[in-house]
Copies of this chain bind each other. A is one copy, B any other.
Amino acid sequence: MDTVKILIDTKGADNGEAVMIKGAQGVLEKFEDISVVLAGDRELLASECQKVGMPLDRIEILDAKGEITNYDNPAEALFKKTDSSMLTGLKALGEREDIFGMISAGNTGVLLSGALRYAASADRVRPALAAVLPCSDGGFTCLVDTGATIDCTPQMLHHFALLGSDFMRRTYGIDSPRVGLLSNGSESSKGNKLVKETYPVLEADENICFVGNVEGNTAFSGVCDVLVCDGFAGNQVLKVTEGTATRIITDIMKYAHREGSDEIKKLAMHLMGIYDIGSLGGGIILGCAKPIIKTRGNAKESAVINTAEMLLNMAHNKSVFDKSRNKI
A residues apposed to B, CB below 8 Å = 136, 147, 150-151, 182, 184, 191-193, 195, 215-221, 230-233, 235-252, 254-255, 259, 261, 263-264, 267, 270-271, 274-275, 328
Q: Is the CB of A237 within 8 A of B240?
A: yes
Cα-based distance from A254 to B239 in the complex (angstroms): 26
Q: Is the CB of A248 within 8 A of B236?
A: no
Q: Which residues of B contact A263 (CB under 8 A)?
A: 259, 261, 263-264
Q: Which residues of B contact A249 (CB under 8 A)?
A: 248
Cα-based distance from A288 to B205 in the complex (angstroms): 44
Cα-based distance from A129 to B249 in the complex (angstroms): 29
Q: Which residues of B contact A241 (CB under 8 A)?
A: 240, 244
A185 CB to closest chain B CB (Å) equals 8
| A240 contact from B219, B221, B271, Cβ within 8 A | B219
Cα-based distance from A242 to B244 in the complex (angstroms): 9
**Given contacts A220-B247, A245-B244, A236 and B239 within 8 Å (CB-CB):** no
Q: Is the CB of A328 within 8 A of B261?
A: no
Q: Determine the residue in chain B with the shortest Cβ distance to A250.
A: B136
Q: Is the CB of A245 within 8 A of B248?
A: yes
A241 CB to closest chain B CB (Å) equals 5
Q: Which residues of B contact A248 (CB under 8 A)?
A: 244-245, 248-249, 271, 275
Q: Is the CB of A215 within 8 A of B191?
A: no
**Given contacts A192-B151, A192-B232, A328 and B271 within 8 Å (CB-CB):** no
Cα-based distance from A195 to B247 in the complex (angstroms): 26
A278 CB to closest chain B CB (Å) equals 11
Q: Which residues of B contact A147 (CB under 8 A)?
A: 184
Q: Which residues of B contact A235 (CB under 8 A)?
A: 184, 215-216
Q: Determine the residue in chain B with the shortest Cβ distance to A328.
A: B251
A196 CB to closest chain B CB (Å) equals 9
Cα-based distance from A82 to B255 in the complex (angstroms): 51
| A184 contact from B184, B217, B236, B251, Cβ within 8 A | B236
| A233 contact from B221, B232, B251, Cβ within 8 A | B232
Sorted nearest first, the 8 A-B pairs with minimum C-beta distance are A216-B239, A217-B243, A217-B239, A184-B235, A251-B328, A244-B244, A216-B240, A192-B232
Q: Is the CB of A271 within 8 A of B251?
A: yes
Q: Determine the residue in chain B with the shortest Cβ distance to A275.
A: B248
Cα-based distance from A26 to B116 in the complex (angstroms): 61
What are 23 residue pairs bridging A and B, where the CB atoms are less than 8 Å apart in the complex?
A136-B250, A147-B184, A151-B193, A184-B236, A195-B232, A215-B235, A216-B243, A217-B239, A217-B242, A218-B243, A219-B240, A220-B243, A232-B233, A236-B237, A237-B240, A244-B248, A245-B248, A248-B275, A254-B328, A255-B328, A259-B263, A261-B263, A263-B263
Q: Which residues of B contact A255 (CB under 8 A)?
A: 267, 270, 328
| A264 contact from B217, B218, B247, B264, Cβ within 8 A | B264
